[in-house]
Structure 1
Amino acid sequence: MASNQILIVDDEPDIRSLVQEILVDEGYQVEIADGAAAARAALRTRRPDLVLLDVWMPDTDGISLLREWSQDGRPPMPVVMMSGHGTIETAVEATRLGAYDFIEKPISLAKLLLTVERALEANRLVQENEGLRRRLPDTPEPIGSSKAMVELRAQIERAAQTDACVLLEGEPGSGKQVLARYLHERSNRRDRPFVVVSGGALIKPDAARDLFGVEEGGELRYGLIEQAQGGTLFLDEVAVLGSEL
């Protein structure tokens, strides 16, 4: 039985009641807020495990409230936006500010429950990863003073400031994973998961399932990509991956 605390922020009483009833039936602890002021007060009392946040509200819109919560780079808990009049621009801005997902109204029961479960599980993995990171020593900086090594470090620093995919080439044992971790530590994703995937371990026919996850019989199995949500996915030995991946 689920026991996570969920805060619903919506100015429409019918929506609040409906979503609250659905989530309570699933075993979640639910608190409601009819606007931004009530949401701020709720967060001062207790930080929830998840917030369902309406975009359009009369006092302060959901995007502005999400922006407040993201002053340190990301909100302190996963946030799922809700709107009956959402636009692509709104969804993009919400994602940029750290929202986990975007649900359209009228709300689908299946979509709501699936999104809530995924958001909570992804956040659990993030918290678990951060706990492990606190117990590990800092990632060492690649050493060396040669011109090639100095340029390599400079390239990594530049790449770390982007969200682009990075290809690290080198012989086995040359330190590609060390460089990948160094890049991760220098990026804005440093507080998110660093997930290592060995291409040789992704054995067919379950490779796609391991990477992307699967839903069978109402049960969710989260893939490695989901586990790296918001962080870095390091694919080692990519040459052995099948073309279908």
Structure 2
Amino acid sequence: MLVKNKLGKVLLVGAGPGPVDLMTVRAVRAVESAGALLYDALCSEEAVALAPPGCVRIQTGKRGGKPSMKQDEINRLMLRLARRGLQVVRLKGGDPSIFGRVGEEMAFLNRFGLETEVVPGVTAACAAAAQFGFPLTHRGEARRVVFTTARVEDGAVAGDWRMGGDPEATVAVYMGAEAAPAWARALMAEGRAAGTPVAAVENAGAPHARLAEMTLAELGAAPLRRGGGPLLIVVGEVAALAANRSGHHADQRAFA
């Protein structure tokens, strides 16, 4: 849709973990009113289908470890479309403020005088907890939650893992499957007990989501075999409360 002002508006919208019924009403309305929709690889086909006829639809990629549109190219594309007077919706999986580069995009667009709005969404950690029956905080066990990513640089896991060593912290690791053994060992080096429960959830929030349960020591011992979907790994005592709806039990480490 065209907006009345000379410059269009850019909405940075969270699509949630996948199913349309987990999107907020505001997010659905934003997509339904889009003149241009730039959507990430993790956004569901059902969410993209909410866009109106005539909407410019562009898949921007942004899938970890796979070829994707560069961030500066996405920024310039949003700017170009908004300058045409279009209402631009940048649709992101989960919540745009959690590892969604929303700060970078807002700063870029605001430098050129464009109005922006952030529409929050359900993030994967919350979706996984709701789907598999465990809380992220729990009285007497988990007083805080740490959202983090993980990568290996020069053979060692990057970042500061001291906060994750707190036995009362639930650690939700996004995009950390490949580096899992390294960061699991880093947590144990910071004092996290080897027997701390771990829940790995693939495709959190989707009907075909799958759960694998293990201990932190088991996670640190060998690479985690996985299927093809995005994987969230939750470390903490609350993970022991996960209801394994896939029909397997606590020593199940693979999704194959």
User: RCO (CA 8 Å, sep 6+): is it higher in 1 or 2?
Assistant: 2
More strand by proportion, 1 or 2?
2
TM-score, normalization by structure 1: 0.25
Q: Which has the larger radius of gyration?
A: 1
TM-score, normalization by structure 2: 0.25
